[in-house]
């Protein structure tokens, strides 16, 4: 199997750059006329699989909205991941896991292993130190999977922490990007991506990352093509993976309408492939 980074780049070339979320939160379940339980989530996720499989570069189930319903919700998540991967669509589990030692190793095996929750990539939080991510990074490399490291997130609470500078003048967010770049060094296209909010007014230097840049905040949250151009150097635009969730999901529950919205947004962000 080729590395996750190379598979993602090939998928972006084939289907456009979008990462589309599967976020069955209660307001969307109600808007779709579904019950707020595991059965409603199953119907929601099934429509998303039929709409997105084979049509987008990456699909990102938000794990929390499945965990809410306990074991029944987790079963739906397992089935969703399996269905997407069976269709050849890359899956990013948005679990934002972060811990140390054997606990981080267990998280890594849950999301990057061969078990029922095994995805192509997982989001991780490095704020116990980038070194704490070693179990996930090592297993991702061994299994040709990917990791997306939270670097400069768009929530306002993050700014105070992530912009703190150290003795070398680098912000914490910049150090996360640089550490990810070090892991990707020498790769054709690295499998360690970073998460950078599209709604930020400033971003870390991404020019040496050599890996994917997942950019949430696109669409309903106000980010778009212009904000991406302001935050990412021209040389790295081809690495940007705009993450859209609500902007697409509000078009449901019609599978055809979901596909139409994906096509519309794919056209809007086609410049990233030039």
pLDDT in tens, 15-37: 999 999 999 999 999 999 999 99
Distance of CA 132 to the CA centre of its chain: 20
The DSSP H or E segment spanning 242 is strand 240-244
**Per-position b or e across 84-96, b if 16+ CB within 10 A of its CB:** bbeeebbbbbbbb
Residues spanned by the domain of 218? 4-273
Nearest-angstrom CA–CA distance, 226 and 230: 6
Nearest-angstrom CA–CA distance, 173 and 251: 34
CATH of the domain at 64: 3.20.20.70
pLDDT of residue 217: 84
Predicted confidence (pLDDT) at residue 167 exceeds the cutoff of 90: yes
Here the tokens at position 50 are 């039929």
Q: Is-contact 77 92, C-beta < 8 A?
A: no
- Active site residue ranges: 96
pLDDT of residue 29: 98
Nearest-angstrom CA–CA distance, 274 and 271: 5
Lowest mean pLDDT among 13-17, 178-182, 217-221: 217-221
* Total number of domains in the chain: 1
pLDDT band of residue 274 (cuts 50, 70, 90) is low
pLDDT tens for 94-135 read 999 999 999 999 999 999 999 999 999 999 999 999 999 999
How many alpha carbons lie under 13 Å from residue 183 in its C-beta half-sphere? Answer: 26
Predicted confidence (pLDDT) at residue 221 exceeds the cutoff of 70: no
Mean pLDDT of 170-194: 97
């Amino acid at each position: 199997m080729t590395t996750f980074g190379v598979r993602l780049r090939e998928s972006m070339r084939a289907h456009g750059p979008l990462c589309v979320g599967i976020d069955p939160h209660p307001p969307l379940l109600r808007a779709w006329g579904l019950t707020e339980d595991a059965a409603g989530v199953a119907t929601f996720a099934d429509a998303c699989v039929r709409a997105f499989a084979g049509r987008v570069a990456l699909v990102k189930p938000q794990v929390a909205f499945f965990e809410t319903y306990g074991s029944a919700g987790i079963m739906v998540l397992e089935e969703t991941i399996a269905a997407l991967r069976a269709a050849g669509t890359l899956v990013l589990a948005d679990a934002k896991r972060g811990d140390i030692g054997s606990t981080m190793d267990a998280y890594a095996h849950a999301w990057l292993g061969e078990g029922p929750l095994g995805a192509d990539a997982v989001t991780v939080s490095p704020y116990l130190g980038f070194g704490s991510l070693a179990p996930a990074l090592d297993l991702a490399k061994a299994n040709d999977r990917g990791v997306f490291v939270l670097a400069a997130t768009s929530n306002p609470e993050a700014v105070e922490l992530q912009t703190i500078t150290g003795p070398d003048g680098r912000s914490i967010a910049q150090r996360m990007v640089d550490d990810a770049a070090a892991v990707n060094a020498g790769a054709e296209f690295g499998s360690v991506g970073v998460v950078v909010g599209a709604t930020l007014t400033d971003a870390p230097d991404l020019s040496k990352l050599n890996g994917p840049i997942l950019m949430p905040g696109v669409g309903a949250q106000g980010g778009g093509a212009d904000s991406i151009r302001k935050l990412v150097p021209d040389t790295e635009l081809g690495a940007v993976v705009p993450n859209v969730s609500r902007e697409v999901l509000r078009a449901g529950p019609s599978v055809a309408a979901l596909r139409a919205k994906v096509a519309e947004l794919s056209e809007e962000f086609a410049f990233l492939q030039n």
